[in-house]
Amino acid sequence: MRLTNLDMDLLRTLSVASELGGLGRAAERLGRSPSAISLQMHKLEEQVGKTLFRKQGRGISLTDAGDLLLGYARRILALNDEALAATRGVGVEGIVRLGVPFDLTSEWLPKVLARFSEAYPRVHIELRTDRSVELLQLYNQDLLDLTLAFGPVERPGASFVAEVPVRWIGSTGFRLDKNQDVPLILLDPPCWFRQTGIDALDRHQTAWRLAFTSPSLAGLWAATEAGLGITVRTPLGMPRSLSALDPDHGLPDLPRVSIVLYNSARRYPHLTSFLETILVETLESALPSGSLQTVASRSMCIPPARGKTSLALSSN
């Protein structure tokens, strides 16, 4: 029996379509027409000899065979991309200066650093974790090559924008006393989350008081876990001992906040481009569904981390 070699381009299209939640979105990301993407998927079905998609409502979803193939596709693509990066990265040296907000360091950053180090073992990564306002100042002073930051897109160089929910957060089982001012646990100013929470309470005509302030996120989480009050953050990086408060607490709704990636691409552009790709792909896999606004075109597409649950594919 003659074995068939799976087409890498077809597997990558399948992976991208699953990540973005639709063949149409995959077409936009990959710079191809929707009809070309559909033809690719038909060709992939011919290669494996199985139906990979089924109709579901107005869109389509993966069959069991399609879901099985998707898992293998991600593993094949990851090995392909890492092999290329590692081969090209042998002997490459330099320094990449990366800025990451406190909230985004615990869950997915180790995966990013491990993957980059595998490809470029001799490159020095200089990591700065801080509040977004401080990171943006360093970026503007050309002291960071790449940085992630919370807040609106205010400067050139933004290559990735996603929106995530902002929530009132308290310790598990925390209950507000409606006869008392809302006790707030906040970072020192300037802080977007601090001002957003205060403004929301003022518009809602809800009395509040400062119960605890700190310059560090670790201090903020500690005070919240101790039950001193509530705070305002995204659920990203939230300790498991804390939880987002339910609407029945009577607190005002909060706006969503953007996560923006800036890449100056001035120093070691190949290294920063590769690190940007890993950052974006890893962060996309951790974001809530529907968070993505825009992703600029990138020179290299790396599949999401292994083990991520497949998404239903829609036609939009």
Write down all domains in the chain, each with its CATH number in brackets.
8-87 (1.10.10.10), 92-159+258-295 (3.40.190.10), 167-249 (3.40.190.10)
Could you report the per-residue pLDDT of 263-278, keeping only the tens digit for each? Answer: 887 777 778 888 888 8
pLDDT at residue 220 in the model = 95
Q: How confident is the model at residue 228 (pLDDT cuts 50, 70, 90)?
A: very high
> Does residue 309 register a pLDDT over 50?
no
Q: Tokens for 190?
A: 């300037």
pLDDT at residue 313 in the model = 35
Percent of the chain at pLDDT exceeding 90: 32
pLDDT at residue 297 in the model = 32
Could you report the per-residue pLDDT of 2-28, keeping only the tens digit for each? Answer: 778 889 899 988 888 887 777 888 888
Q: How confident is the model at residue 71 (pLDDT cuts 50, 70, 90)?
A: confident
pLDDT at residue 199 in the model = 96
User: Shortest CA distance to 286 belongs to which of 119, 172, 164, 170?
Assistant: 164
Cβ partners under 8 Å of residue 44, min gap 6: 6, 7, 10, 11, 13, 14, 52, 69
Question: Residue 34, Cβ neighbours under 10 Å: how many?
Answer: 16
DSSP string, 232-245: EE-STT--TTEEEP
Least confident interval from 4-18, 153-167, 232-246, 300-314: 300-314
User: Shortest CA distance to 112 belongs to which of 92, 98, 130, 101?
Assistant: 98
**Is the separation of the CB atoms in 13 and 30 below 8 Å?**
yes
> Does residue 252 register a pLDDT over 90?
yes
Put simply, whether the predicted model's pTM sits higher than 0.75 gets the answer: no
In 3-state terms the chain splits into helix, strand, coil percentages (rounded to 5) of: 40, 25, 35
